[in-house]
């Protein structure tokens, strides 16, 4: 099984995070025809103790809670009967909402995050929601107290809004370590999702996902949902494939995220996004 991670579905925002609506519709049509699409809850229920998931099934998630999910993605998800979970930055829902200050690329004035009304409308159509932290900071850079406060605040705000338990967390930028995983459990989450680029021990608090970015066509999605994709991407072959394809655009050793230039094997490293 593969858990996909999208961000925005947006024509106007020329960010790697913003998949074009027509491309997204093509992805969903292909996935609906060729894979068993499952709800994230079902995915984690079926996940073994090792963190491995059944083959040929796909779950779809979205990080950051951009308003384009309501404007563009919802209709497509409904048309193809694709279950989806959206991870919200709860700070964007507080009385003085946080602006989108966590992405690396310029943000257009028109970029919005989901409102409480839009979230309610999406829920009534079967979309589920989880936490993507309160402030979208790198949790590994926070003190224990800051990290726990961020995660607890996020879960509290979202549980008040949704009036149901919120047990799923997607780490901002997928970043986590042993300490963050322990604090996620203490904050009351039962499962947490990453975006690994290197080999990571999979488990309930480090469930791997695969990022889909602007420019990824159906063939790239096909590759990214292949059973071997994550192990090749995060395994010993990844640096070899990466070096064949040249350095990432920022040349840093620790850059993360399989961006739109990721190529057929997604092994070319580019900057880590959202
Ligand atoms: Zn994010």
Three-state secondary structure call for residue 3 = strand
Residue 50 CA to ligand 1 center (angstroms) comes to 25
Residue 258 lies in a domain: no
CB-based contacts of 206, cutoff 8 Å, min separation 6: 51, 176, 181, 192, 194, 196, 200
Q: Which domain holds residue 168?
A: 2-235
Residue 136 is classified by DSSP as: -
The CATH code of the domain that includes 144 is: 3.20.20.370
Residue 242 CA to ligand 1 center (angstroms) comes to 24
Residue 182 lies in a domain: yes
Residue 266 lies in a domain: no
Residue 134 CA to ligand 1 center (angstroms) comes to 11
The token duo for 106 is 């310029």
Residue 263 lies in a domain: no
Residue 136 CA to ligand 1 center (angstroms) comes to 6
Residue 249 CA to ligand 1 center (angstroms) comes to 20
Residue 119 CA to ligand 1 center (angstroms) comes to 17
Residue 45 CA to ligand 1 center (angstroms) comes to 24
Annotate 231-241 with b (16+ C-beta within 10 A) or e (fewer): ebbbeeebeeb
Residue 17 CA to ligand 1 center (angstroms) comes to 9
φ, ψ at 17 (rounded to 5°):
-75, -15
Residue 64 CA to ligand 1 center (angstroms) comes to 5
Residue 252 lies in a domain: no
Q: Residue 104's pLDDT is what?
A: 84
Residue 247 lies in a domain: no
CB-based contacts of 15, cutoff 8 Å, min separation 6: 8, 103, 105, 106, 107, 214, 273
How many Cβ atoms from other residues are within 10 Å of residue 96's Cβ? 5
Residue 122 lies in a domain: yes
Residue 166 CA to ligand 1 center (angstroms) comes to 17
The answer to whether the beta carbons of residues 5 and 211 sit under 8 Å apart is yes
Q: How far is 246 from 155, CA to CA, in rounded Å?
A: 41
pLDDT of the chain, 274 residues: tens digit per residue: 899 999 999 999 999 999 999 999 999 999 999 999 999 998 888 876 665 667 789 999 999 999 999 999 999 999 999 999 999 999 999 877 888 989 888 888 889 999 999 999 999 999 999 999 999 999 999 999 999 999 999 999 999 999 999 999 999 999 999 999 999 999 999 999 999 988 888 889 999 999 999 999 999 999 999 988 887 777 655 555 444 433 333 333 223 344 444 433 333 333 455 5
Residue 6 CA to ligand 1 center (angstroms) comes to 10
How many Cβ atoms from other residues are within 10 Å of residue 174's Cβ? 24
Residue 5 CA to ligand 1 center (angstroms) comes to 10
Residue 87 CA to ligand 1 center (angstroms) comes to 8
Residue 212 is classified by DSSP as: -
Residue 100 CA to ligand 1 center (angstroms) comes to 10
Q: How many domains does the chain have?
A: 1
Residue 177 CA to ligand 1 center (angstroms) comes to 17
DSSP element (H, E) containing 116? helix 116-124
Residue 127 lies in a domain: yes
φ, ψ at 49 (rounded to 5°):
-60, -25
Name 88's bridge partners.
64, 131
Q: Residue 221's pLDDT is what?
A: 97
The answer to whether the beta carbons of residues 37 and 60 sit under 8 Å apart is yes
Q: Residue 230's pLDDT is what?
A: 81
Q: Residue 252's pLDDT is what?
A: 31
Residue 173 CA to ligand 1 center (angstroms) comes to 5
The answer to whether the beta carbons of residues 219 and 244 sit under 8 Å apart is no
φ, ψ at 261 (rounded to 5°):
-90, 15
Q: Residue 98's pLDDT is what?
A: 85
Residue 175 CA to ligand 1 center (angstroms) comes to 10
Residue 91 CA to ligand 1 center (angstroms) comes to 12
């Amino acid at each position: 099984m593969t858990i996909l991670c999208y961000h925005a579905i947006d024509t106007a925002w020329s960010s790697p995070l913003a998949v074009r609506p027509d491309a997204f519709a093509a992805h969903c049509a292909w996935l609906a025809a060729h894979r068993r699409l499952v709800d994230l809850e079902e995915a984690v229920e079926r996940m073994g103790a090792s963190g491995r998931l059944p083959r040929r099934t796909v779950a779809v998630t979205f990080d950051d809670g951009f308003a384009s999910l309501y404007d563009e993605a919802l209709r497509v998800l409904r048309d193809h009967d694709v279950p989806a979970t959206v991870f919200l930055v709860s700070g964007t829902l507080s009385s003085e909402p946080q602006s989108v200050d966590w992405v690396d690329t310029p943000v257009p004035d028109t970029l919005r995050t989901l409102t409480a009304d839009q979230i309610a409308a999406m829920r009534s159509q079967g979309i589920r929601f989880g936490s993507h932290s309160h402030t979208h900071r790198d949790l590994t850079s926070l003190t224990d107290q800051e990290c726990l406060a961020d995660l607890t605040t996020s879960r509290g705000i979202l549980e008040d809004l949704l009036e149901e338990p919120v047990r799923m967390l997607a780490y901002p930028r997928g970043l986590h370590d042993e300490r963050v995983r322990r604090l996620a459990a203490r904050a009351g989450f039962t499962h947490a999702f990453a975006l690994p680029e290197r080999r990571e021990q999979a488990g309930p608090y480090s469930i791997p996902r695969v990022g889909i970015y602007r420019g990824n066509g159906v063939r790239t999605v096909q590759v990214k949902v292949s059973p071997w994709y994550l192990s090749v991407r995060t395994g010993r072959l990844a640096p070899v494939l990466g070096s064949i394809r040249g350095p990432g655009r920022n040349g840093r050793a620790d850059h993360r995220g399989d961006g739109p230039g990721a190529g057929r094997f997604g092994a070319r490293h580019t900057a880590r996004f959202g």
